[in-house]
Amino acid sequence: MNLLFRADASVPTGTGHVMRCLALAQACQDAGGQTMFATAEMTPSIEARLADEKCEQFSLTARPGSRADASGTVGLAQRHRADWIVVDGYQFDGDYQRGLKAAGCKVLVVDDLGRAGSYCADLVLDQNPHVPASTYTERSPSATLLLGARYILLRREFGEWAEWQRPVWSSARKILISMGGSDPDNLTAHALRALESSGIANLEITVVVGGSNPHEAQLRRAAEGSRNPIRLVHDAGRMPEILANADVAMIAAGGTLWEALFMQCAVFSYARGSVQRTVVDGLERDGLVVCLGDGTETAEEIAGKALRQVLGSEEWSERLSTGGRTLVDGRGSKRVADILLGREILSA
């Protein structure tokens, strides 16, 4: 089976849409499928990652989400005999989807909390916990919903850690900061300042700098002036190992959020925009994360206070680090791949 993924990556909008498509692409490859990516915007690091994953890549010149974009995507799907088109991005609205369906393509839309507005697809996937079906009332009668944490898309390297359990620890001193592939708002610097203002000593800090992050030079200067030792990792390729060696993950909501929960880290999460804020607030109500706001509304001293509260409490830390694996079991990518490949039959 051939699958064509339509998603974009850039410094301003981030790399998360492509990376969660990559997780699904890997699962489809593992089941014998062939995968291709069509992109109108791309960063060099993500382009190289897709090449490493043996995903064929095609460039589109049309404005993302436009009628010409849909026409170009259909043309690629037809020339390469794609059985499914998977679209991931808020610009792919109902009109865009109708253009794909009118050409006879089977379509999976990956979405967050109804951002696309209306849906004309065979499948609509929203992996966020607690999302109600009423979010997607504006959809075609034939569209089947795949909703909730059961379908969280993790890359195949996390599957190797399915049986791993985090050792019990009495104090949290290993801190990971990871704000995604591009970190356009430089939340990494905000997190470093929060740790400095917290006054907590003897921390071991690892900072993952995404391959599309434009702030690396500034972050290296901040690391050199820190009271705690800081290790910078550029474009990390093996996130499970890095997460396994961290007690606490300070992150931006996105793909890393689900990865950290799966790896049983205590999670402090920033939230960019209304979608991420809704998701993070819900997880905080569930006792699974601590929300740090969007990095502007939350003063660094407030974040530092939250850190002191959790890092100084074994009960807090244990509660935060044990619930994630219950929510994220790591099998979501395989479940969706099985549906696309016809190994699991769903009713609309």
What letter would DSSP give residue 26? H
The domain limits of the chain are 2-156+330-340, 163-327
Using the structure block, give the residue that is written with the tokens 């915007």. Answer: 41
> Do the Cβ atoms of 248 and 314 come closer than 8 Å?
no
Residue 229 falls in which region: left (phi positive, over 0), alpha (psi -120 to 50) or beta = beta
- Can you say whether the dihedral through the CA atoms of 143, 149, 306, 264 is positive or negative? negative
> Do the Cβ atoms of 126 and 111 come closer than 8 Å?
yes
Mean pLDDT by 10 residues, the chain (348 residues): 96 91 98 96 94 97 97 98 97 96 97 94 96 95 95 96 83 87 86 85 89 84 84 85 93 93 93 91 93 77 77 72 89 96 70
Give the total residue count for the chain. Answer: 348
3-state helix, strand, coil in the chain (%, to 5): 40, 20, 40
At residue 140, φ and ψ (nearest 5 deg) are: -65, 150
> Do the Cβ atoms of 151 and 252 come closer than 8 Å?
no
Give the Cα separation of 115 and 92 in Å (integer): 9
> Do the Cβ atoms of 16 and 255 come closer than 8 Å?
yes
Burial class, 107, CB count within 10 angstroms (exposed 0-12 / middle 13-18 / buried 19+): buried
Using the structure block, give the residue that is written with the tokens 């939250």. Answer: 306
Task: Please give the CATH superfamily to which domain 163-327 belongs.
Answer: Glycogen Phosphorylase B; (3.40.50.2000)
Using the structure block, give the residue that is written with the tokens 């396994």. Answer: 244
pLDDT of residue 246: 92
Q: Which of 146, 108, 53, 147 is nearest to 340 (CA)?
A: 108
How wide is the angle at C-alpha 262 spanned by C-alphas 259 and 267, nearest 5°? Answer: 70
Give the Cα separation of 262 and 244 in Å (integer): 10
Give the Cα separation of 28 and 84 in Å (integer): 11
Give the Cα separation of 160 and 164 in Å (integer): 8
Structure tokens at 89: 């991005």
Q: Which of 140, 132, 123, 53 is nearest to 88 (CA)?
A: 123
Q: Which of 133, 145, 158, 128 is nearest to 242 (CA)?
A: 158
Q: What is the largest CA-CA distance in the chain?
A: 61
CATH class of the 2-156+330-340 domain in this structure: alpha beta
What are the helix (H) ranges across 132-249?
Answer: 187-198, 216-224, 239-244
> Do the Cβ atoms of 257 and 269 come closer than 8 Å?
yes
Structure tokens at 94: 């109902």
Contacts of 346 (CB under 8 A, 6+ apart): 144, 146, 339
- Decide whether 2-156+330-340 matches 163-327 in CATH topology: yes
Q: For residue 265, give the 3-state DSSP assignment.
A: coil
Measured in whole angstroms, how far is the alpha carbon of residue 99 from the centre of its chain? Answer: 27
For the chain, the distance separating the N- and C-terminal CA atoms, rounded to the nearest angstrom, is 22
